[in-house]
């Protein structure tokens, strides 16, 4: 007797119930025994007034079952509550988002015949997705991009381990380290160090904008791409378009203890309830889930039946061929089930092995430094006019706090002293860089004194210390700063 698996099923918003319904029907038709625990999250939960969008019963169900299949959840755009998707990924520390992009026979795209077969491994819990945002002034908004050394170490090791598990030969790391040298640079530097341990796999860094360009120009170049959260979000939607669109792009959120399987796409509200959308992306997420729980035969049955449906029977949903000649979501679903047992002669299954999930050593989790000092501070203040007057005033105040004003920048470019004679547009949020007068370590009492001196004249928002670790400056210069 085969085992019964208990799995949390979140049907999702918009097209969610249709795509998860189709997936459940197809998986159940294989005979695999699954006890689906149906749980809520997303729009319906927000409407009931729960601001996390994830009720405790859903949290408890995933905690018990360790595995969930999830439909897309709607997130209010530009206002309102935080994303319930991101909340779930973070709550269960599913730090890796694995997103395969593989060409399907019979799905015609400008890239057909190029053997597109790549996987994006997206860091899933850090970066701008932490959503730590503040209005600095009535006119200037800020989002903190926090990237940890251990977060980079884990996702990069996961990418290499994943490549090994599928017999893949090349890992690219896509970052914007040329511009964000501390944050995206940390990902690049960690990649270069970790890559030395995986001598069986080729490793190459690529700047993320060029990665987008090369993905469109030569997608067959890529095998595995590991990248930060925001980059990965954008690249994976682009990647889905190489193989026919978001209807074909599955995904798995994985961590040490929990896995949540979901498509790349969202709730596509304009198609909700119309029985038109393509369930393939969630179905293939379900196939990834079946392999994860060891149900390899059922996974292969579904994958082959899907490829036969697309590649031999030429049965498609609206996204592939428009309204004329396409079938409904339910007909497509039934057709896949009817094709159980058939195989596509050209579809090779990959050699799937369980991923050896990385376990970090203490020194990989947290690095320590031998020396550290503080060179100064950046004090962010709100100001409106008379830049020269502000510069003179802050220079005088700094002297009384054992500091000196080095420069003032606005939107990252030095505007005082105006050494270059340029006239950038100014917002009301200024970064004032104060450094030690005599090169000594800047202490907290000097900082507090400076803030108390500045405060009567200017509103201040926040302070950043200019840290130096093991002799290396841990902060960036302003544009135009020497
Ligand atoms: P979306 O829901 O992914 O839809 C964008 C477009 O992709 C659709 O208009 C449609 O393209 C195509 N599409 C998506 N799923 C499809 C499917 N199964 N079959 C065929 N075509 C499909 O993105 P969005 O409209 O930007 O976002 C809608 C909501 O979803 C937002 O609230 C967003 O926050 C949320 N979202 C959730 C997740 C998640 O749950 N993980 C991910 C992304 C977005 P055409 O218009 O060309 O037909």
CA 232 – CA 251 distance, rounded (Å): 12
Residue 467 φ then ψ, to 5°: -80, 145
pTM across the whole model: 0.95
Structural domain boundaries, residue 393: 372-473
How close is the Cα of 246 to the center of ligand 1, in Å? 7
Instruction: Give residue 443's pLDDT.
Output: 94
Same domain, 238 and 256: no
Q: Mean of the per-residue pLDDT values for the chain?
A: 95
Q: Choose the residue to mutate in 99, 268, 275 for probing ligand 1, maximizing ligand atoms within 8 Å of C-beta.
A: 268
Q: For 243-291, write each residue's pLDDT tens digit.
A: 999 999 999 999 999 999 999 999 999 999 999 999 999 999 999 999 9
Bond from prior residue into 86 cis (ω within 30 degrees of 0): no
Residue 166 in domain: yes
Report the atom number in ligand 1 closest to the C-alpha of 42. Answer: 40
* CA-proximal residue: ligand 1, atom 21 (nearest): 247
Q: For 433-447, write each residue's pLDDT tens digit.
A: 999 998 899 999 999
Residue 366 in domain: no
Q: Which residues line ligand 1 (CB under 6 A)?
A: 15, 19, 72-75, 85, 245-247, 262, 265-269, 277-278, 281, 319
Q: Does 371 have pLDDT greater than 90? A: yes
Instruction: Give residue 2's pLDDT.
Output: 77
Contact (Cβ atoms closer than 8 angstroms) between residue 97 and residue 127: no
Please state at what angle helix 296-311 crosses helix 329-338, rounded to 10 degrees: 120
Instruction: Give residue 1's pLDDT.
Output: 56
Please state at what angle helix 16-29 crosses helix 296-311, rounded to 10 degrees: 120
Contact (Cβ atoms closer than 8 angstroms) between residue 99 and residue 119: yes
Q: Does 134 have pLDDT greater than 60? A: yes
Instruction: Give residue 252's pLDDT.
Output: 97
Instruction: Give residue 225's pLDDT.
Output: 98
How close is the Cα of 205 to the center of ligand 1, in Å? 30
* CA-proximal residue: ligand 1, atom 6 (nearest): 268
**Which of 464, 459, 466, 472 has the alpha carbon at shortest distance from 139?**
459
Same domain, 85 and 17: yes
* CA-proximal residue: ligand 1, atom 40 (nearest): 72
Q: Which of 129, 316, 416, 458 is catalytic?
A: 129
352 counts as catalytic: no
Report the atom number in ligand 1 closest to the C-alpha of 278. Answer: 19
Same domain, 79 and 116: no
Contact (Cβ atoms closer than 8 angstroms) between residue 149 and residue 367: yes
Residue 103 in domain: no
217 counts as catalytic: no
Query: Quick one: how far is CA 401 from the chain centroid?
Result: 43
Residue 359 in domain: no
Q: Does 452 have pLDDT greater than 60? A: yes
* CA-proximal residue: ligand 1, atom 22 (nearest): 247
Q: For 186-216, write each residue's pLDDT tens digit.
A: 999 999 999 999 999 999 999 999 999 999 9
How close is the Cα of 145 to the center of ligand 1, in Å? 25
Q: For 76-129, write each residue's pLDDT tens digit.
A: 777 778 889 989 999 999 999 999 999 999 999 999 999 999 999 999 999 998
Mean pLDDT for 338-350 is 94
Q: Choose the residue to mutate in 69, 246, 260, 279 for probing ligand 1, maximizing ligand atoms within 8 Å of C-beta.
A: 246
Q: What is the DSSP letter of 158?
A: H
Residue 229 in domain: yes
Q: Does 53 have pLDDT greater than 70? A: yes
Q: What is the CATH number of the domain that holds 132?
A: 3.40.718.10
Report the atom number in ligand 1 closest to the C-alpha of 262. Answer: 41
Instruction: Give residue 75's pLDDT.
Output: 86
Instruction: Give residue 319's pLDDT.
Output: 96
The number of folded domains in the chain is 3
Q: What is the CATH number of the domain that holds 469?
A: 3.30.70.1570
Q: Which of 70, 154, 176, 276 is catalytic?
A: 176
* CA-proximal residue: ligand 1, atom 16 (nearest): 247
CB neighbours of 268 closer than 8 A, spacing ≥ 6?
14, 15, 72, 246, 277
Residue 415 in domain: yes
How close is the Cα of 267 to the center of ligand 1, in Å? 5
* CA-proximal residue: ligand 1, atom 10 (nearest): 268
Last residue of a domain, one of 220, 242, 264: 242
Instruction: Give residue 367's pLDDT.
Output: 86
Q: Choose the residue to mutate in 109, 267, 269, 278 for probing ligand 1, maximizing ligand atoms within 8 Å of C-beta.
A: 267
Q: Which of 209, 388, 457, 470 is catalytic?
A: 209
Same domain, 221 and 324: no
Same domain, 231 and 261: no
Same domain, 323 and 383: no
How close is the Cα of 323 to the center of ligand 1, in Å? 18
CB neighbours of 477 closer than 8 A, spacing ≥ 6?
none
Q: What is the DSSP letter of 295?
A: -
Report the atom number in ligand 1 closest to the C-alpha of 269. Answer: 28
Contact (Cβ atoms closer than 8 angstroms) between residue 204 and residue 192: no
Same domain, 280 and 317: yes
Q: What is the DSSP string of 58-116?
A: HHHHHHHHSEEEE------SSSSSPPHHHHHHHHTT--EEEEEEE--TT---TTTTS--
233 counts as catalytic: yes
Residue 12 in domain: yes
Same domain, 344 and 386: no
Same domain, 114 and 228: yes
Q: Choose the residue to mutate in 71, 97, 266 for probing ligand 1, maximizing ligand atoms within 8 Å of C-beta.
A: 266
CA 353 – CA 349 distance, rounded (Å): 12
* CA-proximal residue: ligand 1, atom 26 (nearest): 266
Instruction: Give residue 114's pLDDT.
Output: 94
**Which of 234, 193, 189, 191 has the alpha carbon at shortest distance from 216?**
234
Last residue of a domain, one of 188, 209, 242: 242
477 counts as catalytic: no
Please state at what angle helix 16-29 crosses helix 280-292, rounded to 10 degrees: 50
């Amino acid at each position: 007797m085969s085992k019964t698996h208990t799995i949390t099923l979140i049907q999702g918003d918009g097209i969610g119930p249709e795509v998860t319904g189709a997936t459940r029907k197809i998986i159940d038709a294989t005979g695999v025994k699954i006890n689906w625990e149906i749980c809520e999250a997303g729009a319906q939960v927000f409407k009931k007034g729960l601001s996390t969008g994830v009720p405790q019963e859903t949290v408890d169900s995933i905690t018990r079952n360790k595995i969930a299949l999830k439909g897309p959840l709607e997130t209010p755009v530009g206002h309102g509550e935080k994303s319930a998707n991101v909340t779930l990924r973070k709550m269960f520390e599913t730090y890796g988002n694995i997103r395969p992009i593989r060409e399907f026979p019979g799905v015609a795209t400008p890239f057909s015949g190029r053997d597109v077969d790549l996987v994006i491994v997206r860091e899933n819990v850090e970066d701008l997705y932490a959503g730590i945002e503040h209005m600095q002034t009535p006119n200037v908004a800020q989002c903190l991009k926090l990237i940890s050394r251990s977060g980079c170490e884990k996702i990069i090791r996961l990418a290499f381990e994943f490549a090994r598990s599928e017999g893949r030969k090349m890992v690219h790391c896509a970052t914007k380290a040329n511009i964000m040298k501390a944050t995206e640079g940390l990902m690049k530097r960690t990649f270069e160090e970790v890559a030395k341990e995986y001598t069986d796999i080729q490793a190459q860094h690529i700047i993320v904008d060029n990665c987008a360009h090369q993905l469109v120009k030569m997608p067959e170049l890529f095998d595995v791409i590991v990248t930060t959260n925001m980059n990965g979000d954008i690249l994976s939607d682009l990647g889905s378009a190489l193989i026919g669109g978001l209807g074909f792009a599955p995904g798995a959120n994985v961590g040490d203890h929990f896995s949540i399987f979901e498509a790349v796409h969202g709730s596509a509200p304009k198609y909700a309830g119309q029985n038109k959308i393509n369930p393939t992306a969630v179905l293939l997420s379900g196939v990834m889930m079946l392999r994860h729980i060891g149900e390899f035969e059922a996974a292969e049955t579904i994958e082959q039946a899907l490829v036969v449906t697309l590649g031999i029977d030429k049965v498609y949903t609206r996204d592939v061929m428009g309204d004329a000649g396409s079938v409904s979501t339910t007909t497509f679903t039934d057709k896949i089930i009817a094709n159980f047992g058939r195989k596509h002669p050209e579809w090779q299954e990959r050699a799937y092995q369980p991923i050896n999930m990385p376990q970090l050593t203490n020194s990989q989790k947290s690095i320590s430094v031998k020396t550290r000092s503080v060179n100064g501070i950046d004090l962010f203040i709100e100001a409106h006019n008379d830049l020269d007057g502000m510069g003179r005033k802050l220079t005088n105040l700094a002297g009384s706090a054992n500091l000196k004003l080095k420069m003032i920048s606005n939107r990252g470019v030095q505007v005082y002293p105006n050494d270059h004679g340029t006239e950038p547009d100014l917002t009301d949020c200024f970064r004032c860089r104060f450094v030690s007068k005599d090169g000594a370590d800047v202490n907290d009492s000097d900082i507090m004194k400076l803030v108390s001196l500045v405060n009567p004249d200017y509103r201040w928002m926040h302070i950043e210390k200019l840290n130096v670790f093991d002799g290396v400056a841990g902060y960036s210069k302003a544009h135009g700063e020497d």
